[in-house]
A and B are shown apart, each in its own frame.
Chain A
């Protein structure tokens, strides 16, 4: 069993694109944008457009007519419907050193998810919280509404 887990690790490691090290390592991208969408990164709010890079700590907010799709480095995909906000508190994907973490706050609105490698390798490292509850995620596709 341990051997299998190790093999999976190795497989995943080899899939990880290595970016520069440091605090501002990209953890994913904004893949698609419709309507009003804002990215709050390092306390600066900007209008989001496709292919912007995301870093840990970013907030993504959609307006009345807004929706947005995100792709994270571990293959997790996330989308937000209108009037929604997500805060990506922490995202680390470094299977070689067994450093994995995906913590996000679903502040309000509607969300859909398909989880990726982190949920597969270390489900306990995925922590999604809403004002009402925390979600333990053992995969894979689900939707959440926070009113």
Chain B
């Protein structure tokens, strides 16, 4: 056997060993669950050997290595899911909560119904021990864009101060403003649209 043939056969042999080791050692399991809104999503699990869709609650597939085809979907019991994934699932954070506060036209005064939402925001911050709160100011398109940028900054600042006044730490709040650039309801310029005069508060 000449030298190059020997090198080639070594390479082939070692890659076979690698593939065998890899597929023998590693295994992936994926299980689709019902989300907090009661919906069940859709996953496509694939590798070079094939692809499987899982679309039903508690449906699972296993993949025994990168070169073996994902197994046909199989339903997992709640018990099996909690024994295999309980520790991870227990640590899954609640998804961030979004609040939208509205303002009176051209002003930094909250509408009455939005004022009434402040206690909810404070309660959410407390319940989640949140240290990551975003306050983002917006306006409608009435008035020019420079004016609206300043107005959205003032709106964000009013909400920020309101939260700080209620005991939220200033360094836990990031506030920004988008002026009239990100309307909730798209309108022509110079349109008075109550839904766009808002500050969004995100509690993480």
Contact = CB atoms under 8 A, between A and B. Distances in A.
**A and B held together in a complex:** yes
Interface of A: 6-7, 10-11, 13-19, 29, 31-32, 34, 50-51, 67-71, 75, 77-82, 84, 96, 106, 109-112, 114-116, 130-147
Please name the 10 residue pairs, one residue from A and one from B, whose CB atoms are nearest each other, closest first.
A139-B41, A17-B134, A136-B44, A81-B88, A81-B87, A79-B91, A141-B35, A138-B42, A132-B28, A140-B41
Interface of B: 22, 26-36, 39, 41-47, 63-66, 68, 70, 81, 84-96, 98, 131-132, 134, 136, 138, 174, 176, 178, 182-184, 186, 198, 200, 202, 204
B91 A81 contact: yes
Contact of A145 (B29, B32, B66): B29
A71 B41 contact: no
B138 A14 contact: yes
Contact of B70 (A114, A133, A141): A133
Contacts of B33: 112, 141-143
B145 to A, nearest CB: 15
Contacts of A81: 85-88, 91
A17 B46 contact: no
Contact of A143 (B66, B89, B136, B182): B89
A79 to B, nearest CB: 4
A21 to B, nearest CB: 12
Nearest to A142: B32
Given A13-B182, A19-B174, A139-B39, A67 B26 contact: no
B85 A71 contact: no
A67 B89 CA distance: 10
B62 to A, nearest CB: 9
B176 A17 contact: yes
Contacts of B134: 17
Contact of A80 (B39, B44, B91): B91
Given A79-B90, A139-B41, 15 more contacts: A7-B186, A15-B136, A29-B204, A77-B94, A112-B85, A114-B35, A132-B64, A133-B30, A133-B63, A136-B45, A138-B44, A141-B33, A143-B88, A144-B29, A147-B27
A62 to B, nearest CB: 9
A34 B88 CA distance: 11
Contact of A133 (B66, B132, B178): B66
Contacts of A13: 178, 182
Nearest to A53: B132
Contact of A68 (B47, B65, B91, B174): B91
Contacts of A82: 87
Nearest to B69: A133
Looking at A71, A132, A134, the one whose CB has the most chain B CB atoms below 10 A away is A132
A138 B26 contact: no
A29 B132 contact: yes
A18 B176 contact: yes
Contact of A71 (B46, B200, B204): B204
B48 to A, nearest CB: 9
